[in-house]
């Protein structure tokens, strides 16, 4: 039976998986507006395809951060203070993207729309890249001292390994978003999204293999969790191959599910590799933060568990209902708000 510390570690992992799965296709759609859409109407179709969802999807990140703050305050303090600058940039990018979604269609002028289109693109590519860099850094290890202070320089956070991790997350989100577009659009736009997603599978495979090899040599996660990570890697390969096959036969829903499975396996792999740690110290393994020395007291965890179990069904029910209500495809001939 899981202890409360383990339970909340799992819940934080689930929240991040949900965020990357749901917000991942939002990021992909935002990136695709720059080069997939041929005209303003197609851009509006793409933006409207995520119009009812993107703001609720971002809540998963806020909830994950809140869960870290409440359940593992030392993890939250160390990570958010050490990564202060990149996380601020991430939040500014998300804010700019959200404002762009709302303001883009308020003035019918090309320069006005062009400015907000740039904000949408930048706000869609920076967050997944920075999150990929951050999560890769957690695996590689960071200079955390005995006082749980992270004193990282630029090259501790940004190096070849974390850059590859960031780029891999960006491309994965792009493919995921393109497949979501195949579910929400019609005609030539849908077909172009499907073809581009299929073309990007090869570079995505190269990035995955490169990141996996670098992870094997530059981290210890395969030493501590080798068997289960190997099984997850095999499952990831199966998902990847099935995604390619489903794209070819135009089974778009199944293809989207497979890239979603890849995302879930990738983020799960990070947490499985870390457990029971939450941050690895590159100075001394004894200084690593774990689910025990980074956690709140048992009473706080008990109260949080009761509250979470009470409210979670309502939150999930609302989001599932919103996806059901807005499940229809977006057509170019319909009135488009953005």
pLDDT score recorded for residue 324: 75
Q: Does the structure show a pLDDT above 70 at 332? A: no
Instruction: Please state, in angstroms and rounded to a whole number, the distance separating the CA atoms of residues 338 and 336.
Output: 6
Pick the closest to residue 196 from 33, 327, 22, 40 (CA basis): 33
Average of pLDDT values for 76-91? Answer: 93
What percentage of the chain has pLDDT greater than the value 90?
A: 70
β-strand partners of 142: 281
**Which tens digit of pLDDT belongs to each residue from 262-318?**
999 999 999 999 999 999 999 989 999 999 999 998 888 899 889 888 877 887 887
Q: Which two tokens stand for residue 247?
A: 């794209």
Contact (CB, 8 A) for 248 and 241: no
DSSP string covering 250-317: T-HHHHHHHHHHHHHHHHHHHHHHHTTEEE-BSS-GGG-EETTTT---HHHHHHHHHHHHHHHHHHHH
Contact (CB, 8 A) for 107 and 178: no
pLDDT score recorded for residue 17: 96
Query: Would you place residue 109 in the very low, low, confident or very high pLDDT band (cuts 50, 70, 90)?
Result: confident
CA distance to 81, 279, 298, 317, per residue, from 148 (Å)? 11, 10, 20, 38
**Which tens digit of pLDDT belongs to each residue from 135-163?**
999 999 999 998 899 988 888 899 999 99
Instruction: Please state, in angstroms and rounded to a whole number, the distance separating the CA atoms of residues 2 and 24.
Output: 29
Instruction: Please state, in angstroms and rounded to a whole number, the distance separating the CA atoms of residues 183 and 247.
Output: 12
For the chain, the average pLDDT equals: 91
- How many residues can be counted in the chain? 338
Q: Does the structure show a pLDDT above 60 at 337? A: no
CB atoms within 10 A of CB 108: 8
Q: Which two tokens stand for residue 326?
A: 């807005």
Instruction: Please state, in angstroms and rounded to a whole number, the distance separating the CA atoms of residues 100 and 117.
Output: 7
Radius of gyration of the chain measured on its C-alpha atoms:
20
Pick the closest to residue 319 from 56, 50, 24, 23 (CA basis): 56
Query: Would you place residue 253 in the very low, low, confident or very high pLDDT band (cuts 50, 70, 90)?
Result: very high
**Which tens digit of pLDDT belongs to each residue from 205-252?**
999 999 999 999 999 999 989 899 999 999 999 999 999 999 999 999
pLDDT score recorded for residue 335: 44
Instruction: Please state, in angstroms and rounded to a whole number, the distance separating the CA atoms of residues 239 and 260.
Output: 9
**Lowest mean pLDDT, pick from 96-100, 126-130, 257-261, 333-337:** 333-337
Tell me the whole-structure pTM to 2 decimals. 0.93
Query: Would you place residue 338 in the very low, low, confident or very high pLDDT band (cuts 50, 70, 90)?
Result: very low
CA distance to 6, 7, 136, per residue, from 297 (Å)? 13, 14, 29
pLDDT score recorded for residue 112: 85
> Residue 142 gets which letter from DSSP?
B
Q: Does the structure show a pLDDT above 60 at 336? A: no
Q: Does the structure show a pLDDT above 90 at 52? A: no
Instruction: Please state, in angstroms and rounded to a whole number, the distance separating the CA atoms of residues 283 and 221.
Output: 17
Torsion on CA atoms 100, 104, 109, 111, rounded to nearest 10: 20
Instruction: Please state, in angstroms and rounded to a whole number, the distance separating the CA atoms of residues 6 and 233.
Output: 23
Instruction: Please state, in angstroms and rounded to a whole number, the distance separating the CA atoms of residues 164 and 129.
Output: 9
Residue showing tokens 């290890």: 141
pLDDT score recorded for residue 327: 67
**Lowest mean pLDDT, pick from 38-47, 90-99, 131-140, 174-183:** 38-47
Pick the closest to residue 225 from 297, 190, 276 (CA basis): 276
pLDDT score recorded for residue 318: 75
């Amino acid at each position: 039976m899981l202890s409360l510390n383990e339970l909340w570690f799992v819940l934080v992992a689930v929240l991040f998986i949900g965020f990357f799965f749901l917000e991942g296709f939002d990021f992909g759609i935002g990136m695709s507006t720059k080069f997939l859409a041929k005209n303003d109407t197609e851009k509006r179709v793409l933006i409207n395809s995520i119009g009812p969802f993107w703001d609720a999807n971002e809540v998963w990140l806020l909830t994950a951060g809140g869960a870290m703050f409440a359940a593992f305050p030392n993890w939250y303090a160390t990570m958010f203070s050490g990564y202060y600058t990149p996380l601020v940039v991430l939040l500014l990018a998300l804010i700019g993207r959200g404002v762009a979604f709302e303001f883009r269609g308020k003035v019918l002028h090309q320069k006005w729309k062009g400015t907000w289109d740039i904000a949408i693109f930048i706000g869609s590519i920076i967050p997944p890249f920075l999150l990929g860099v951050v999560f890769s850094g957690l695996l590689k290890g960071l200079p955390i001292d005995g006082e749980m202070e992270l004193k990282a320089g630029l090259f501790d956070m940004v190096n070849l390994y974390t850059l590859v991790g960031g780029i891999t997350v960006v491309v994965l989100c792009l493919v995921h978003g393109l497949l979501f577009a195949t579910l929400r659009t019609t005609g030539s736009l849908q077909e172009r999204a499907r073809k581009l997603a299929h073309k990007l599978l090869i570079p995505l495979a190269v990035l995955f293999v490169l990141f996996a090899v670098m992870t094997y040599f530059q981290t210890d996660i395969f030493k501590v969790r080798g068997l289960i990570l190997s099984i997850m890697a095999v499952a990831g390969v199966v998902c990847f191959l099935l995604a390619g096959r489903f794209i070819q036969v135009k089974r778009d829903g199944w293809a989207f599910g497979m890239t979603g499975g890849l995302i879930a396996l990738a983020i799960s792999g990070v947490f499985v590799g870390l457990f029971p740690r939450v941050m690895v110290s590159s100075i001394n393994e004894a200084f690593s933060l774990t689910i025990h020395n980074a956690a709140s007291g048992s009473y706080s965890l008990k109260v949080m568990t009761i509250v979470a179990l009470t409210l979670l069904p309502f939150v999930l029910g609302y989001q599932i209902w919103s996806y059901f209500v807005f499940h229809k495809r977006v057509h170019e001939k319909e009135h488009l708000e953005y």
